[in-house]
Amino acid sequence: MENTTTTISSDFIRTIISEDAKSNKNNGKVATRFPPEPNGFLHIGHAKSICLNFGIAKEFGGTCNLRFDDTNPSKENVEYVESIKKDVKWLGFDWEDRMFYASDYFERIYQYAVELIKRGKAYVCDLTQEQIREYRGTLTEPGKDSPYRNRTIQENIDLFERMKKGEFPDGSHVLRAKIDMASPNLVMRDPVIYRIKHEYHHRTKNEWSIYPMYDFAHCLSDSIEGITHSICTLEFEINRPLYDWTLDTLEVKCHPKQIEFARLNLSYTVLSKRKLIELVDANHVKGWDDPRMPTIAGLRRRGFTPESIRNFCQRIGVAKRDSLVDLQLLEYCIREDLNRIAKRVMAVIKPVRVVIVDYPENQVEDMEAINNPEDPSMGTRKVPFSKILYLEKDDFQENPPKKWFRLAPNQEVRLRYAYYITCREVIKDEETGEIIELRCTHDPETRGGGSKDGRKVKGTLHWVSAQHALKSEVRLYENLFLKSESNELDNDLNPKSIEIIKDCYVEQSLANSKIGDLYQFERQGYFCVDHDSKEDNLVFNRTVTLKDTWAKIEKSQK
RNA sequence: UGGGGCGUCGUCAAGCGGUAAGACACAGGAUUUUGGUUCCUGCAUUCGGAGGUUCGAAUCCUCCCGCCCCAGCCA
């Protein structure tokens, strides 16, 4: 995997790990894991975790496992497993032969539960869900012991075995760790570690009627895999005592160190799985890979590169304080990458017909255009020029404001790689007053876009030749949400998050573009070919606009 | 009101007792056949607040204030 940024990032997690490595803890080995639950698509927040876990493993010469935390069959399925694998790979990371599932360990985890019972540290409880809640107490009051807390070991073993055999209905019994109902940490008040679920599991099928809870399965899975550092997000900090209690009580050989960091929040979007699922289910977006989604699949379809996302993850850093990262940083990262690699091309999104009145009727000239000024090795291409063109409607104003460099009556501008032209006449629809055609003259001495007399032309406009251009569809995206934070699906969705424009014209050379190809439409932004694109109807997604200094000037003039 | 965590520029984020890195954003200016890119310049006398220790504190101590997480048989 290439990485052009060589900055050595040092965050508190890397500091801890490097100290452990130096003191030869775990024999100097470093083993991490990325443990998604396959109940949704990965998003940019997961990318932060992926970059962290795989990144650390690589930096310390260790390993990072991919492990599906599939302990709840009611929420998980294979579609999500496949999407997660695809996304991690696409981001540029490799778990080699280390792809695991918590469900791989169900038998061992079960045996650990039996062991816990034998050590007098777990019991089968018959309280209902509501009763368990009541017995748990509150934040300020201690809980009270379950009447089933002191069953004999034999009784517990028998009951737990019958739970496993499927003799009891869902919800009738649970296995609980016997810890301390008065603990100020609610997680430690005899947490449920196994529940009955007569449910089909996407991997173990109908083999199990009981499934371990996260707190029990996760630490043991880590331990089984020989993980040295178990990195998770802040909300699990409160679960750490239970993580440690379980491994200590069972006296396992491998006891990983859990370290928590702050999850990513990004402005103008949502990153909670609940809200993301809701967006998809309520059809606010067209699926998990809708280009407006902050999912890896959405970003990929939008035109983001893995490199730009990795770079973003490096720039945001890792710490323990809650934060809200500015979406503009993500945009900066993708512009930075695309500026380097995207082929320049001309496309007119909102066209106005322009006739060069003094240009020969049937003449066509091939103008030479540079493919990428940042990378001369990308070469040049020919762009056909002729008498009738399309220009961007917004590049003309009849009564231009101050500092307007673009086309206006009697104002000369340069057509990129072509000629200087001057607008002589504005043709309007007699009824609507809408501008339907601009008539311009050109200076034949300026072929290619330069003049011998050194005369200055302030504006340079993109254009396409009407008879050569390809009619195509462009989808413009804006932020999915209106507010920088705390967005709710009911009121805060941006109604203008997508604008589909069907009558766009792109230059001829785009005819053989392929799905996923990335371009810069000069002066407008970066675009990629969507997978809805067909040979006779090209579809482009706008990844991000170019920085627009004029828009700022215009805004400040108002 | 119990417990756990966190507070350094608009947003991220270094800093770990020796006198506030960097990035994004923002504001100027230069170059430019993309009002793009690039390049300069500016942008925290101050680190949630108040005391204290010290020759010296963002860093140590005390108290206070604010924000986040926990009462799923979710993860």
**Rounded to an integer, what distance in angstroms lies between the CA atom of residue A237 and that of residue A221?**
18
**Rounded to an integer, what distance in angstroms lies between the CA atom of residue A307 and that of residue A338?**
10
CB A461 within 8 A of CB A430: no
Q: What is the pLDDT of residues A290-333, one digit of tens each?
A: 999 999 999 999 999 999 999 999 999 999 999 999 999 999 99
- Range 386-425, chain A: CB under 7 Å to any strand B atom: 403-406, 414, 416-417
Task: Kindly name the residue from A25, A29, A37, A155 that is annotated as catalytic.
Answer: A37
Q: What is the pLDDT of residues A128-181, one digit of tens each?
A: 999 999 999 999 999 999 999 999 999 999 999 999 999 999 999 999 999 999
> What Rg do the C-alpha atoms of chain A give, in angstroms?
31
Give A133's Cβ-side CA count (13 Å radius).
3
For chain A, the domains span 12-265, 343-551
Q: Which residue is nearest nucleotide B10, judged by alpha carbon to C1' distance? A: A326
Which nucleotide minimizes the distance between its C1' and the CA of A323? B12
Protein-covered nucleotides of chain B (CB closer than 7 Å) are 1-8, 10-16, 22-28, 33-38, 67-75
CATH: 3.40.50.2000, 3.40.50.10800, 3.30.590.10, 3.40.50.620. Which one for A12-265? 3.40.50.620
Q: Indicate yes or no: strand B within 7 A of the C-beta of A115.
A: no
Q: Indicate yes or no: strand B within 7 A of the C-beta of A448.
A: yes
Whether residue A4 is predicted with pLDDT greater than 60 in this model: the reply is no
What pLDDT was estimated at residue A444?
97
Q: Coil, strand or helix: which one is A382?
A: strand
Q: Which residue is nearest nucleotide B11, judged by alpha carbon to C1' distance? A: A326
Which nucleotide minimizes the distance between its C1' and the CA of A218? B75
Whether residue A1 is predicted with pLDDT greater than 90 in this model: the reply is no
Reference A389, options A310, A465, A469, A328; nearest CA is A465
DSSP A286-331: SSTT-TTS-BHHHHHHHT--HHHHHHHHHHH---SS---B-HHHHH
**Rounded to an integer, what distance in angstroms lies between the CA atom of residue A259 and that of residue A237?**
8
pTM passes above 0.90: yes
Which nucleotide minimizes the distance between its C1' and the CA of A450? B33
Convert A355-379 to b/e letters by CB count within 10 Å (16 or more is b): bbeebeeeeebebebbbbeeeeeee
A344 carries an active-site annotation: no
CATH number assigned to the domain covering A343-551: 2.40.240.10
Q: How far is the CA of A11 from the C1' of B59 (A)?
A: 17
What pLDDT was estimated at residue A416?
98
Q: What is the pLDDT of residues A470-482, one digit of tens each?
A: 999 999 999 999 9
According to DSSP, the residues that pair with A420 across neighbouring strands are: A414, A443
**Rounded to an integer, what distance in angstroms lies between the CA atom of residue A510 and that of residue A489?**
37
What pLDDT was estimated at residue A9?
59
- Range 491-530, chain A: CB under 7 Å to any strand B atom: 520, 522-523
Q: How far is the CA of A49 from the C1' of B71 (A)?
A: 28
Q: Indicate yes or no: strand B within 7 A of the C-beta of A235.
A: yes
Q: Indicate yes or no: strand B within 7 A of the C-beta of A478.
A: no
Cα separations in angstroms, A136 against A118, A190, A391:
24, 8, 70
A273 carries an active-site annotation: yes
**Rounded to an integer, what distance in angstroms lies between the CA atom of residue A227 and that of residue A20?**
13
A144 carries an active-site annotation: no
What pLDDT was estimated at residue A399?
96
| Domain A12-265 matches domain A343-551 at the CATH topology level | no
Residues 6+ apart with CB under 8 A from A46: A34, A36, A87, A296
**Rounded to an integer, what distance in angstroms lies between the CA atom of residue A185 and that of residue A201?**
32
Whether residue A5 is predicted with pLDDT greater than 80 in this model: the reply is no
